[in-house]
Chains A and B, each alone.
Chain A
Amino acid sequence: MLVLLFLLSISVFFLFNLLPGDPARLTCGKACTPAIIEANRHRLGLDEPPLTQYVKFVSGIFVGRTFSPDSPEPIVCDAPCLGYSFNRHELVTSLIARSAPVTFWLAIGAFILWLTAGISLGIFAALRRGRWQDRLVMGISLIGYSLPSFFIGLVLIFFVIIKLQWLPFPNYISPFENPFQFFQTMLLPWIVLATLNAAFYMRLTRNQVLEVLGDDYVRTARAKGLPERRVVVRHALRAGLTPIITAAGLDLAYLLGGAVISENVFSLPGLGSLIVTSVTDSDLPVITGITLVTATIIIFANLVVDLLYAVVDPRVRIA
């Protein structure tokens, strides 16, 4: 895993920093002279060889670093230092630290919502397989799966906020400051994100349960005289859980890296919004930083998923 993270840091760093385009040129405005550009280039450390830049970047993560040390106002960046955004005059870490909670709450809320709705409706459909309830749930799932999230988001904003005025315009606030306003703001984004994913989990759960329902140990459970509900939930679902966990772990990790569209539609200042503005501004340090953080989350999510396999399936446990 450490090897993976190391390779990741190399590829991310060089991918973004060796791209054509001159970051130094972007640092000064219209009245730019070659002299200022050169000065900035030196200040940003861009005049050094790429490998030196990379070593400084990585050592910054572990021990911190100082930008433009020979200038009158050196910028101290404590470990873990992911760089400094000269566009925003702010450390990348503090930018991420400001946006990450928004994304975190968005992702967690939507995650809980879609797992609950997706798995329970999936089981429901499996129990009523072939009947109209099954077809209804699968129909809803198909619709939910086909609608783009910005469309659902805009429709919800239009009706719930503008037309019916059930909710105020979204204005993000930390749940610790004002829980009520926090819920009012997050409710629609949660629903939008959950709709898309719940649709997928309904299908996944239904198919998993139906597949396992024909297995021998499910027949054994029936032969014990257990009620159908217990047979399906405790015996069939448990056995079919592995792919659901895999999907859920990776989907959550993916979402923690920023829900670009939903955050923009609801103007939530999360990682998704941050990365979009950074890309438009060609703010390389921020893009590099976020990419690295997101990729790390996904690697960790994989690890957690692997560990969860062992919790679910005793055969995976190592004696």
Chain B
Amino acid sequence: MMRTSRSLDRPFLSVTDLSVAFPTEDGLVQAVDGVSLSVERGKTLAIVGESGSGKSVTAQAIMGLINRNAAKVSGEIWLDGQELLGLPQHEMQALMGSQIAMIFQDPMSSLHPFYRIGDQITEAIRAHRKVGAAAARRETIEMLRHVGIPAVERRVDAYPHQLSGGMRQRVMIAMALINSPALLIADEPSTALDVTVQAQILELISRLQAEFGTTVILITHDLGIVADVADDVAVMYGGRIVEVAPTTVLYDRPEMPYTLGLLSSVPRMDRELPERLDPIRGNPPSPIRLPKGCVFQPRCDYSDRVRGGACLTVRPDLLPSEPDHLVRCHLPVDERQTISRDVLRVLSGAPQ
């Protein structure tokens, strides 16, 4: 009823109030809690966070990979005017691999070890389109060549274990893009690879994105790789988005203390100070027993500056501090900006 009428002027992808909870023996694990985000067609959104921040679960929920028998999923996911969470399984399967595709973190284990890579890609073609075996194979070879695999005629019949990690990730990219998906979710696509190969893979994804006009969600824990590829960045912590902004804004004026911490812990070649990296102290919170107040409070250096101890008792909301820049923090906006300027000055090596 309302859903169809509202879908007209939505962004290409819009996630509203997405929550994913896994019941376990130790209690309910709230992996994702009230995440809302949106991406315009052809743009790239980076979701950044530590392990356990809920970024991968968010991606899998959009991809339809969460087993609905094992987890409680709520909220809305709209893709191109269609709500995904309410779709029956077979309709969602029709979108998976054709409209939405995904690249996974570990190319070593993400390809089936017993099947030839060409056949694995062909399977993706023929799951969605009525294409003959020979035509599908031609298309597969063409796509493999396109993602930069040398000696394709020979490699197409190779088994995954005969290829290097970088080559396998290229195969995964070819498999993901073979049906020209409108949305590509890349879950830490370069994390498991050598540094030199990392850059190649990210470059490849950007190039193909521009070429196919694909919308990309890039999941990563590495703020260092985000700057060049993403239009917008969402920072996640403890299952929530804590800061979201256009990439340039986030790098120029980060406000959430957690984002500042992430930026301080990225090693950079182009600066001299500080002499050592400044990691965020402590560990991410247990998703079963989250702090009552701000989830980041136990690791935050600035929570004592908030009057009345609100950080300990009240969950902050995600509120705009300027247009397009949302921050989840109890600190007053001007105080956040002062802290941000101080930290950035230290990071850039200027005298304090």
Contacts and interface: CB of A to CB of B under 8 A. Distances in A.
Of the four ranges (under 10, 10 to 19, 20 to 34, 35 or more), the interface on chain B belongs to 20 to 34
B112 A225 contact: no
A220 B104 contact: yes
Contact of A223 (B90, B97, B159): B97
Interface string B93-107: 111111001101010
Interface residues of A, number: 21
Interface stretch (B20-28, B33-41, B122-130): B122-130
A217 B127 CA distance: 16
Nearest to B69: A130
B22 to A, nearest CB: 13
A312 B63 CA distance: 31
Interface in B74-131: 89-90, 93-98, 101-102, 104, 106, 109-115, 123-124, 127-128
Given A238-B114, A312-B114, A314-B113, A219 B65 contact: yes
Contacts of B110: 216-217, 219-220
A154 to B, nearest CB: 43
A227 B63 contact: no
A41 interface: no
A217 B111 contact: yes
B161 interface: yes
B242 interface: no
A215 B127 contact: no
Given A222-B65, A223-B97, A225-B94, A216 B106 contact: yes
B60 to A, nearest CB: 8
Given A217-B109, A315-B159, A223 B114 contact: no
B65 A223 contact: yes
Interface in A201-216: 215-216
A222 B123 CA distance: 12
A226 interface: yes
A239 interface: yes
A314 B159 contact: yes
A224 interface: yes
Given A225-B95, A315-B161, A220 B112 contact: yes
B136 interface: no
A226 B159 contact: no
B175 interface: yes
Contacts of A224: 96-97, 123-124, 127, 175
Nearest to A315: B161
A249 B123 CA distance: 31
B98 A225 contact: yes
B95 A220 contact: no
A167 interface: no
Given A215-B109, A238-B114, A314-B114, A223 B63 contact: yes
A282 to B, nearest CB: 51
B98 A221 contact: no
Given A216-B106, A315-B159, A239 B69 contact: no
Of B63, B94, B109, B110, most buried by chain A (CB within 10 Å of CB) is: B110
A222 B112 contact: no
Nearest to B172: A220
Contact of A217 (B69, B113, B124): B113
Nearest to B185: A223
A238 B124 CA distance: 18
Contacts of A219: 65, 104, 110
A235 interface: yes
Given A215-B109, A219-B65, A223-B63, A314 B95 contact: no
| Of B89, B95, B124, most A-chain CB atoms within 10 Å | B124
Contacts of A313: 113-114
11 contacts: A130-B69, A216-B104, A216-B106, A217-B109, A217-B111, A217-B113, A220-B110, A221-B112, A222-B96, A225-B127, A226-B93
Interface of A: 130, 215-217, 219-228, 235, 238-239, 312-315
3 closest Cβ pairs, A-B complex: A225-B97, A225-B96, A216-B109
Given A223-B96, A314-B113, 9 more contacts: A219-B65, A222-B65, A223-B63, A224-B124, A225-B97, A313-B114, A314-B114, A314-B161, A315-B159
